[in-house]
Amino acid sequence: MTRAKIAITLDQKLLMTLDSLVQNHLFSSRSAAINEALSEKLEKIQKSRLEKECLKLEKTEEQTLADFGIAEDLESWPPY
């Protein structure tokens, strides 16, 4: 994966905490810590969006669609 260099501005207290984590070897660098934190936050946002979209689904309609044609499929499957 390629990386891009950016500049950011952080609150001084947050920066001190970040530097402490790096000094205590929880992260190899500021960049590594920020990259991991941002990745986790973006993943959480994506999951939240999926949950919200799933709540919009009509459960009975989705079940009907899932069951549609399954009887024919079951007949053609080999026994296990």
Query: pLDDT tens, 38-59?
Result: 999 999 888 888 888 888 888 8
| pLDDT surpassing 80 at residue 74 | no
- Tokens read off for 15: 């920066």
Cα–Cα distance list, 69 to 26, 49, 58, 65, 66 (Å): 53, 30, 19, 9, 8
- pLDDT of res. 71: 67
Q: What is the mean pLDDT of the chain?
A: 88
Q: Is 77 helix (H, G, I), strand (E, B) or coil?
A: coil
Q: How many CA atoms are closer than 13 Å to the CA of 4, on its beta-carbon side?
A: 3
Q: Is 56 helix (H, G, I), strand (E, B) or coil?
A: coil
Beta strands in the chain (DSSP E): none
Whether 6 shows a pLDDT value over 90: the answer reads yes
Indicate whether 26 pLDDT > 90: yes
Does residue 29 surpass a pLDDT of 90? yes
